[in-house]
Structure 1
Amino acid sequence: MTTIYDIARRAGVSATTVSKVLNGYPDVSAKTREKVQRITNELGYQPSAAARGLVTRRSMSIGVFFQDESGMGFRHPFLHDIIASFQDVVGASGYDVLFFSPTNGSKTPQGFEARARHRDVDGLFLLGVPRTSPGLTSLSRSRIPIISVDLDLLGSRASYLVSDNIGGARVAVSHLAELGHRYIGFVGDRTGTKPGHDRTLGYHQAMQELGLPFRAEWVLEGDFTEESGYEAMQRMLALPEMPTAVFFASDMMAIGAMRALREAGLTPGDDVSLIGFDDVQLAAYVTPALTTIRQNKEEMGRMAGHELLELMQNPNKPPAVLTVPIELVVRSSVKRIGIGSTPQLSTSLHRA
């Protein structure tokens, strides 16, 4: 196996000089640096990560805490795309990614920080972690470089990134209103996430600003899963009156609601208009195809990766709050109705 001493003998320099070149020290002439790098490539030398870490005090690894209430894990269409693009960015800079189990060691007040320090990671990426998780305040003060997605964790070296969830919810309600819907229900989030909070806020803002009638019984909660959307629609169908349209805080909940409507003998999109949030891949293939608010998942992962690299490489970089724009994707699950349409009685909606 090739060592730095082999490179040094071939280049006619000391092992110390080779080490300086490999570790990016500036006090080596350009000519010597070029020669050492060329011979390193010719000999196929691969430096030991552990040895390099002793010199640079960097492990070249990034820890990832992610949590998914649906149980789909890496198969979740939203989380998967973000993680994949994040890995592309940090991997191109030579970093490996270490995934921490979300249920092992992060439930105690010092869980996140203790596990990060035990593995000696250079930075952390948090995705899908609830705001109520113990240890987040301590983590934000730890001086570990951190980027979180959909979690408003801000500290001396902690930035966070979100989609424009408030704006997206406002766009969703406005789109329904433009198509004649005045009676608009909402299925939000009961798990306490930052996106769930902001989408709920955006719904209420839009309803008020557009002068639309608010009915508390039409505002239900789920947990972003298909099953919770199914259950929420079942509860809504049991009410004396139904809204003409429902905005769901996630696509998966809207897809679950479609199943509940069909079981009740109704046609999603025709009898009740539905609009979601996320634009997961499945949204384009269900029937009817789901109108939704698209999050740019790949861009979220890329921005998260670049922000964390900057935090790790520049200790004086101030933390930032990054917002990714959203986009309305119009499909066939929303039907135009007459202006001034009244709420429909759930009993009259059921077909014989």
Structure 2
Amino acid sequence: MNKKVTTYDISNALGISRNTVSKALNYHASISDETRKKVIEAAIAMGYNKMVPGAGERPAISRSTKSIAYLTRIEVSTNGYWMNLMRGVEDVLRGSGYDMKMSFIKDEDIISLMVPPMLNSTIDGFIVVGMLNKAYTEKLLAHSLPKVFIDLNAELPLTDLKADLVLMESEESVYRITRHLIESGHREIGFIGDITSRSFLERWIGFSRALHESNIPRNPSYCITSKHATSYQSFDGIADTLGALEQLPTALVCGNDLMALHAIRFVKENGMRVPEGIAISGFDQMKETELLDISLTTVTNNEFQLGLRAAEELLYRMQRPNRPFEVIRLSTRVIFGESTRTTRTT
């Protein structure tokens, strides 16, 4: 009777560990293509009986498997923007018979360019939520599964993008806000936002276009566009940056409402008033802005609908893999509040 071939035999034949053999046979992301090919070829040659027909290629997904991976590095609380977005994704997937499997991308994964192992199992496609660095995004883009991104690293061109992208409209909304400030008499206008994100880059473009059309030079000292996104997420980061300016602009266009809230707090703690001392706008229409003593000029951003649309696009892509990839922008609406209602003379 022939001896049953095991992963131990394969590891001995190749001079590698059993763990490496097992990972290679299960298409673990940590195993290189060269090693995986070597292991599979040896397994087939030795008659390893757990190999399936067509081994040597990525195993076909069983049609009984209906799972979508939701990849993010953002901490999701029980409410708020990111939870609402995730609920939108879940709503579509549940109604279409798919399970959603969440995977948090850790800093060490990004450094080592390690994609979540679930992408090499029985997953039908995946959605990437939030901006990641260029190298890691390129790693995900190279994966063969259907994929949809919600936001994208701005260093990656939209031409020849091998994935679908879903965003909220940003450029025109911020253009309108900036034009409103200019028409109210402002000439010293600043911008806060990390423009390595595609969404924030488009807001920056809208801001810059409004200044250019009005022949107002953009003052670099008023434009806070550092690549270090974490500095924008805390009050201390915003306060330190604004506090370092020799002079504040008369108006600030903020990339989102959270930054606007931090800016308003800084202004008030330094004895100024909004909008009399400085006009401030945001983006996203966060619920937290309702606690302000003035209404904030902002832009509606329906994160639940954003999640719905991203999930719908992934299902579409899975059914029509050869159709041209799409960049989809959901419409937004500017809400002018008291935070920018001030008239200045030139």
TM-score after normalising by structure 2: 0.73
The residue number in structure 2 matching 1:137 is: 138
Aligned-residue offset at 1:112 = 2.5
Map residues 51-90 of structure 1 onto 2, 5 A cutoff.
56-57=62-63, 59-68=65-74, 72-75=75-78, 77-90=80-93
What's 1:146 paired with? 147
Q: 2:283 is matched with which residue: 266, 277, 281?
A: 277
Q: 2:272 pairs with 258, 266, 272, which one?
A: 266
Alignment-mate amino acid for residue 289 of structure 2: A
Q: 1:111 to 1:161 in 2, by over 3 A?
A: same
Higher mean displacement: 109-118 or 120-129? 109-118
1:197 aligns with 2:198: no
Judged with a 3 Å threshold, the aligned counterparts in structure 2 of structure 1 residues 281 and 224 are, in CA distance, closer, same or farther, namely: farther
Structure 1 runs not aligned, ≥5 long: 1-52, 341-352
Letter in 1 for 2:123: V
Deviations 1:65-106 (A, max 9, x none): 1122xxx52357222222111110111001111010211774
Pairing 1:172–2:177 present: yes
Computed over aligned residues only, the root mean square deviation of the Cα atoms, in angstroms, reads 2.8
CA distance in 1, matches of 2:240, 2:313: 42
Q: How does 1:1-352 map to 2 (within 5 A)?
A: 56-57=62-63, 59-68=65-74, 72-75=75-78, 77-103=80-106, 106-107=109-110, 111-112=114-115, 114-118=117-121, 120-134=122-136, 136-151=137-152, 158-189=163-194, 192-221=196-225, 223=229, 227-228=233-234, 231-340=237-346
Matched AA of 1:146: K
Q: Which runs of 5+ in 2 are unaligned?
A: 1-58
- How many residue pairs get aligned? The number is 282
What is the TM-score with the length of structure 1 in the denominator?
Answer: 0.72
Please list the CA deviations of residues 39-87 of structure 1 after superposition, one character each: whole Å capped at 9, or x if unmatched: xxxxxxxxxxxxxx9995352111011122xxx5235722222211111
Identity of matched residues, %: 24
Secondary structure in 2 matching 1:298: helix
Over 3 Å counting, the alpha-carbon distance change for 1:160 and 1:268 in structure 2 is: same
Q: Structure 2: how far apart are the matches of 1:319 and 1:171?
A: 29
- Aligned partner of 2:23 in structure 1 is none
CA shift, 1:214, in A, is 2.3
Q: Is the 8 A contact 2:275 2:342 kept in 1?
A: no
Cα distance between partner residues in 1 of 2:201 and 2:61: 45
CA contact (8 A) 1:105 1:112 kept: no
Contact 1:269 1:288 in 2 (8 A): no
Counterpart residue type for residue 85 of structure 1 = G
1:294 shift after superposition: 1.9
- 8 Å CA contact 1:230, 1:258 repeated in 2: no
Contact 2:193–2:232 (Cα < 8 Å) also in 1 = no
Provide the secondary structure at the position in 2 that maps to 1:111: coil
Normalized per residue, which structure has more strand? 1
Q: Distance in 2 between matches of 1:58 and 1:238?
A: 59
